[in-house]
Amino acid sequence: MQKLVLALAAPLIALNAVAEPKTAAPNRPVAYFAANCANCHGTDGKASGAIPALAGRDRAYLEETMQAFKTGARPATIMHQLAKGYSDEEIAVLADYFAKQK
Ligand code: HEC
């Protein structure tokens, strides 16, 4: 049983190692948050379809836009619902992450 637990834990530990160590929420690495956006905005925010790319965008713009979705100031089809799931601190961390992608 212990071996099974170790086998299950190993990939999690490996995933942790690639995530940025210094985030506002150390228990939940920023890569986990960013992965929530990948389905629509592409891996690391590099979208190529109709949904706007996030990679390399202005950090302040990304943060302000997420806040505007969250408060409802900016109308959206989907993002207003998603943005409500993130704290202000998490939004800041996400904006920082995507702004740093090439
Ligand atoms: C289910 C698909 C989906 C997911 C998941 C998703 N988005 Fe979006 N995103 C959209 C769509 C669609 C738009 C266009 C606005 C709208 O209609 O909601 C958008 C727009 C945006 C914009 C505005 C871009 C611009 O050019 O003004 C930002 C910023 C953004 N998303 C950030 C995020 C972040 C950060 C995440 C992850 C926490 C995320 N999105 C997850 C679909 C998604």
Domain locations along the chain: 2-100
Tell me the CA distances in angstroms from 12 to 15, 69, 72, one per residue in order: 5, 32, 36
Q: What is the CATH number of domain 2-100?
A: 1.10.760.10
Radius of gyration of the chain (CA): 15
The pLDDT of residue 8 is 55
The whole-model pTM stands at 0.80
The pLDDT of residue 4 is 55
Return the residue whose CA atom lies nearest to atom 24 of ligand 1: 52
Return the residue whose CA atom lies nearest to atom 36 of ligand 1: 37
94 Cβ partners below 8 Å, 6+ apart? Answer: 30, 33, 34, 37, 62, 66, 86
State the closest ligand 1 atom to the C-alpha of 33, by its place in the atom list counted from 1. 38
Per-residue pLDDT of the chain (102 residues; tens, 9 = 90+): 556 555 555 555 444 444 444 445 556 678 887 999 999 999 999 998 999 999 999 999 999 999 999 999 999 999 999 999 999 999 999 999 999 998
The pLDDT of residue 9 is 55
Q: Would you say the CB of residue 81 lies under 6 angstroms from ligand 1?
A: no
Q: Would you say the CB of residue 77 lies under 6 angstroms from ligand 1?
A: yes
